Chain A
């Protein structure tokens, strides 16, 4: 059992990368999410924890579920929130990323939740901004709150993360979800196997702490958790995969393949799913799937993150 950090451990910090969190801080976030989850089960789903705080959701890249999840989390904490889909406003007029954020900052928000198509964009902003920044996905780099909600879901279902055997299957090369999960799962003591068609395996994957497998069967064998990553159809062109049909034949998660995992294994997916491409509907809708629980847990975990970064009284 990992030690838990004091509740003030994250106050005033950014959440840019899982790399910045200690195991104790991760445990603090997950424990806090337990309390936040209870708020979401009440009739009046609202606490005053962030009353009077302003949070701006800056989405430089289209997003439905992450943005919705953050918005609901912010509203349940009573923050004043505003969501901007920046890709459709000033950026197309030639304003730089930093200028856009300077303009938002001039209006004194307390926190910015940022999604951007370029890896590292949140770190670049954090060097410039007074506001605390929560990385809601930067390019192919990281998506820390997704890894936290995945960890929360694993802990909820399996009672622990330490010692779990996790198989991750799909577009490893372009996935920020993968990178955040590798960092988090290693810190928390899980072991990780990954598999994908060779063109989708990033160079040096072993150095990131994952054991690559040649087949999905090898990766899934004996796993406690099978995490499927989305195949981003728009990115595949013709150079990564010959066809989605062949991808499903070689790497799709079918009931037969799932039978190789432990009988109590769970199936996860960060969404949105491509049924019949990375996962068969019978598995996605089957009893081992926890995909909708992940979505539900996402709100509680994001409430925990926002609360721990921005909550408490100003000193």
Chain B
């Protein structure tokens, strides 16, 4: 297959590009990016609809695909379908499956399922400790050899500073990134929502932001001690971001990600007790949200990731304190980012592509993040002005747990290309009707 994406607005911050360009793809690889590329015989010309934006494939470095073990919530195949429908050409999946991905066997199983689905690229993240129990180092060398791109005990914070130190040292030796879920479980207690006036009014047990901040500080301190990089998962408070900024200023290799729900919603959304507003870290206060917006704009936040956490409707039908933490995110992230950040004037498209593509690729050391000649053709086409009404029933994910039902947003995904293959085309963008699926 040999084609040219003709005259789209190409936003590729890694190459400093933001303008009208053609992108030529042959046999799954980007061969040229330029202006008015000549189309030789046999080369298909795909006209990029006016207003659409061609970007390097988006990469979600924090998802839960639930397979093996919880296939009633999601499978690698359904998660990969949700990913491409959400504009993501690649996802990195957390190891809290059943069994935990702490062995090459589980890693290979996930990769086999991803290969069979043949949609988004799937990068497994291995467990940092055996069973994510926080007791014994996992075989990180074997995990890396099997295909893991990072290690984390996400969902289970690495409990002791000593083990965290050893994980950083050992993974650092192998050039494997450590991603930590920062939360002091001894301070969290049995909290379920952000501690504050809303939690007090609703009679829900609070988790103070400081439970996160204590461990962000701890991990940054240990990254300094070990001179190994650390990536802070789902950062959610102003205090955590202050700590990250201070760590970066000291030259420590710390990076961080935020979730769309933390720059879109606050704990005010808890009123009404919709269990789809329950996630961990919880929806925070408005001062925290404002700080997330500042960090996204000023560069101190490196990545937008979704923490896509599918749960079956039956599980979310429990009372608020009993329902599981987590919401889906793969199919809403782009629209929320375009509507609430780009159109709201918080960031530009180029910064959006850094947050959703260039930076996750650089931090995970995976291919992509740029439209580079000779690189696999992982490309996302955005429709920044497309009116989108969020409908759980229309989603590809097996689960429907998200608090944005019925939201009207400006901006969505037009098409997703993985390895040169069109794996998703949005039927709402009529000008794409001629593109081959």
Contact = CB atoms under 8 A, between A and B. Distances in A.
B273 interface: yes
Given A118-B319, A141-B203, A208-B197, A96 B314 contact: yes
B41 interface: no
Interface centre among B206, B208, B273, B314 (most CB of A within 10 A): B273
A207 B204 contact: no
B16 interface: no
Contacts of A205: 200
Interface in A104-140: 116, 118-121, 123-124, 138-140
Interface in A74-129: 96-98, 116, 118-121, 123-124
A176 B203 CA distance: 7
Given A119-B203, A141-B202, A204 B196 contact: yes
A203 B198 CA distance: 9
Given A97-B319, A118-B321, A118-B322, A138 B197 contact: no
A116 B200 contact: no
A171 interface: no
A179 interface: yes
Interface centre among B195, B196, B197, B201 (most CB of A within 10 A): B201
Contact of A203 (B197, B317, B318, B320): B197
Contacts of B50: none
A139 B318 CA distance: 14
Interface residues of A, number: 23
A207 B267 CA distance: 14
A120 to B, nearest CB: 3
B300 to A, nearest CB: 27
B199 interface: yes
Contact of B204 (A96, A98, A140): A140
B203 A142 contact: yes
A202 interface: yes
A121 B201 CA distance: 15
A208 B201 contact: yes
Nearest to B321: A118
Interface in A250-309: none
A176 B202 CA distance: 9
Contacts of A121: 319-320
A97 B203 contact: no
B272 interface: yes
Interface in B138-197: 195-197
Contacts of A119: 202-204, 273, 319-321
Interface centre among B196, B205, B206, B320 (most CB of A within 10 A): B320
Nearest to B272: A123
Given A140-B203, A141-B203, A179-B203, A120 B197 contact: no
Contact of B197 (A97, A118, A141, A204): A204
A202 B200 contact: yes
A108 B208 CA distance: 43
Contact of B319 (A124, A202, A208): A124
B201 A120 contact: no
B200 A203 contact: yes
A96 B318 contact: yes
Contacts of B200: 202-205, 207-208
A29 B13 CA distance: 65
Nearest to B199: A203
B202 A97 contact: no
A120 B318 contact: no
Interface in A42-93: none
Nearest to A204: B197
Interface in A130-172: 138-142
A179 B248 CA distance: 44
B195 A124 contact: no
A123 B199 contact: no
A96 B275 CA distance: 14
Nearest to A138: B203
Nearest to A122: B273
Contacts of B272: 123
B318 A179 contact: no
Interface string B191-231: 00001111111111110100000000000000000000000
Interface centre among B318, B319, B320 (most CB of A within 10 A): B319
Contacts of B273: 119-120, 123-124
A208 B272 CA distance: 17
A198 to B, nearest CB: 14
Contacts of A120: 202-204, 273, 319-320
A212 B210 CA distance: 23
Nearest to A60: B319
A142 B201 CA distance: 9
B314 A118 contact: no
B204 to A, nearest CB: 5
B197 A139 contact: no
A204 B195 CA distance: 9
B199 to A, nearest CB: 7
A219 to B, nearest CB: 18
Contacts of A176: 203
A139 B322 CA distance: 12
Contacts of A138: 203
Contacts of A142: 203
Contact of A96 (B195, B201, B317, B321): B317
Interface string B314-328: 100111111000000
A139 B201 contact: no
Given A96-B317, A123-B272, A207 B197 contact: yes
11 contacts: A97-B318, A118-B319, A118-B321, A118-B322, A119-B204, A119-B320, A179-B201, A203-B196, A203-B208, A204-B198, A207-B200
Given A139-B204, A204-B197, 19 more contacts: A96-B314, A96-B318, A97-B318, A98-B317, A118-B321, A119-B204, A120-B273, A124-B319, A138-B203, A139-B321, A140-B205, A141-B202, A179-B201, A203-B196, A203-B197, A203-B206, A204-B198, A207-B197, A208-B200
What are the 6 A-B residue pairs with the smallest beta carbon separation, nearest first?
Answer: A204-B197, A120-B273, A118-B319, A140-B203, A141-B203, A202-B200
